[in-house]
Chains A and B, each alone.
Chain A
């Protein structure tokens, strides 16, 4: 147990002095995840609204597909991205492999099903009279969409934070597509895996502490949102 306590002490020291490797990995994790989730949100929210408004069997099938995609392992997404971005792949010329933008793309694919499924669930939970009220007031699609987003905003925020939480803690995509290149594509999770395998527990623990801190902040934020939503309903 001593190595653990020493690891924690050393980790805190690394964080206090602002170790360049730790800070770089943390920064990479944060900006890559935020970019992926923002892009995913921009794409997923309109998809979720279209699925909510459509009553066809095609949309029902798509909802099932998106829900099934929630279970995709990150290594599978990493593998697909690797195949697509590698020299022989269809997007080889884009040189996305071993670049942070490649990781953003992979995490985008991870986040889309999460945001679509959770946003769709939130919209389905909305009062059915909203849709009827919009129709009967003959509101245009732009205003209708703004209204849905406004009415379901807390649920959508939960979807976005859940996707962010999943992206920042994933390892498979960052490792396979990013390649864990120091100061370039190394993230908190890939760094933790590397440092632990090298026996550098202190660095590994420092990375994990940052991840836990971010995870803790997201949990607090989600709990606060849930309370806000409950107080509004009451």
Chain B
């Protein structure tokens, strides 16, 4: 689905991300593990098309490129409620408001935050914000989902919900993490 070869990102004469090769299949679970500053976020941004100034090659079909979604390490939520945020990405799809709302609620439920649906995004904890952003990304059903440290700030219940959702997600998922990922995710680990 996506092939990355000899990727190198240099900023101010300093190499901030380097990777020899990475192949991502359509249903892969890949864990990008590395210490702080090893270039995990940069790699995800390159894969997401947000970072375009790099050396090396990245091949992937336009279809996948247009269906790749990235969730920030510290996600940004729009003004409004949790439900409105999750429905946001679905507004581009030609489906009715009621159906959008049901789909969004289903993802919130899967991530264990359905009770927060009507809460303002200004009043969420770090873990709740993270799961809201993840639900928003999942709702658009991307072919490639890029998650930057998705398990940080989560309580054990939250971790279980997120791990289960990622495990059951039918498309490719790439997860960046500074620590080893739970075994249930069955990730192929790439160390930076």
Q: Which residues of A contact B (CB under 8 A)?
A: 127, 129-130, 132-133, 135-140, 143, 147, 150-151, 232
The interface-forming segment of B19-27, B30-38, B87-95, B183-191 is B87-95
Q: Which of chain B's residues 50-74 have a Cβ closer than 8 Å to chain A?
A: 50, 66-70, 72, 74
* Bound complex: CA A147 to CA B45 (Å): 22
Q: B70: which A residues are within 8 A, CB to CB?
A: 132, 136
- Per-residue CB contact flags for chain B residues 72-98 toward chain A (1 = under 8 Å, else 0) read 101110110000000011011000000
Number of chain B residues close to chain A: CB under 8 A: 23
Please determine whether A127 and B69 come into contact, CB atoms closer than 8 angstroms.
Answer: no
* Bound complex: CA A140 to CA B140 (Å): 14
Please determine whether A137 and B72 come into contact, CB atoms closer than 8 angstroms.
Answer: no
A selection of 17 A-B contacts at a CB cut-off of 8 Å is A129-B72, A129-B74, A130-B78, A132-B45, A132-B50, A133-B75, A135-B48, A136-B48, A137-B88, A137-B92, A137-B140, A138-B66, A138-B67, A139-B89, A143-B92, A150-B79, A151-B78
Please determine whether A137 and B50 come into contact, CB atoms closer than 8 angstroms.
Answer: no
Most chain A beta-carbon neighbours within 10 Å: one of B45, B49, B89: B89
Nearest-CB distance from A231 to chain B (Å)? 10
Please determine whether B76 and A127 come into contact, CB atoms closer than 8 angstroms.
Answer: yes
* A-B pair number, CB within 8 angstroms: 52
* Bound complex: CA A137 to CA B74 (Å): 16
Q: A129: which B residues are within 8 A, CB to CB?
A: 72, 74-76
Given contacts A132-B72, A137-B137, A137-B140, contact A150 B78 (CB under 8 A): yes
Is B180 an interface residue when CB atoms closer than 8 A count as contact? no
Not counting A139-B89, A232-B122, a sample of 17 additional A-B residue pairs whose C-beta atoms are within 8 angstroms of each other reads A129-B74, A130-B76, A130-B78, A132-B48, A132-B70, A132-B76, A136-B48, A137-B69, A137-B92, A137-B136, A137-B140, A138-B67, A138-B69, A138-B92, A140-B92, A150-B78, A151-B78
Please determine whether B92 and A139 come into contact, CB atoms closer than 8 angstroms.
Answer: yes
Measured CB to CB, the nearest residue on chain A to B122 is A232
* Bound complex: CA A43 to CA B184 (Å): 54
Please determine whether B75 and A138 come into contact, CB atoms closer than 8 angstroms.
Answer: no
Q: B76: which A residues are within 8 A, CB to CB?
A: 127, 129-130, 132-133
Please determine whether B72 and A133 come into contact, CB atoms closer than 8 angstroms.
Answer: yes
Q: Which of chain B's residues 123-180 have a Cβ closer than 8 Å to chain A?
A: 136-137, 140
Please determine whether B50 and A136 come into contact, CB atoms closer than 8 angstroms.
Answer: yes
Please determine whether A143 and B91 come into contact, CB atoms closer than 8 angstroms.
Answer: yes
* Bound complex: CA A151 to CA B92 (Å): 19
The 9 closest A-B pairs by CB, nearest first: A129-B76, A137-B89, A136-B70, A133-B76, A136-B69, A132-B50, A136-B48, A127-B76, A129-B72
Nearest-CB distance from B171 to chain A (Å)? 15
Q: A139: which B residues are within 8 A, CB to CB?
A: 88-89, 91-92
Nearest-CB distance from A161 to chain B (Å)? 21
Q: B45: which A residues are within 8 A, CB to CB?
A: 132
Q: B91: which A residues are within 8 A, CB to CB?
A: 139, 143
* Bound complex: CA A129 to CA B75 (Å): 8
Nearest-CB distance from A147 to chain B (Å)? 6
Q: A130: which B residues are within 8 A, CB to CB?
A: 76, 78
Please determine whether A135 and B92 come into contact, CB atoms closer than 8 angstroms.
Answer: no
Please determine whether A135 and B79 come into contact, CB atoms closer than 8 angstroms.
Answer: no
Measured CB to CB, the nearest residue on chain B to A139 is B92
Nearest-CB distance from B25 to chain A (Å)? 21
* Bound complex: CA A143 to CA B50 (Å): 19
